[in-house]
Amino acid sequence: MKKRNTLLILGALLSSVGLAACSSSMNTKGKGITQLMNDNQERVFYNVDDSNNDNLPGKDEKINYIYITKSGKLKGYYIDEKLTMDEVVGKNINEIKKLAEENSKENYENDKVTASVLTNGNNTKQELIKMDPTYYNAYTSLTSGQIRDKYYAGYVSYRSGPSSANLLITEVSKGNVIDFDKADGKIIEETHQ
High-pLDDT (> 70) share of the chain, %:
87
The residue segments making up the domain with residue 16 are 2-192
Q: What is the pLDDT of residue 169?
A: 99
Partners of 127 in the β-ladder: 117, 139
Beginning with the edge strand found earlier in the chain, give each strand of the sheet holding 106-110 in spatial order. 106-110, 73-78, 63-70, 43-49, 166-172, 150-157, 135-147, 123-132, 114-120, 188-192
Cβ burial 27-42 (10 Å sphere, 16+ → b, else e): ebeebbbbbbbbeeee
pLDDT (mean) for 86-113: 96
Q: What is the pTM of this model?
A: 0.86
How many domains is the chain built from? 1
What pLDDT, on a 0 to 100 scale, did the predictor assign at position 9?
Answer: 53
Residue 139: name the closest of 125, 151, 153, 150 by CA.
Answer: 125
Spatial CB neighbours of 154, under 8 Å, sequence gap ≥ 6: 33, 45, 57, 142, 143, 144, 167, 168, 169, 170, 178
Cβ contact 95:68 at 8 Å: no
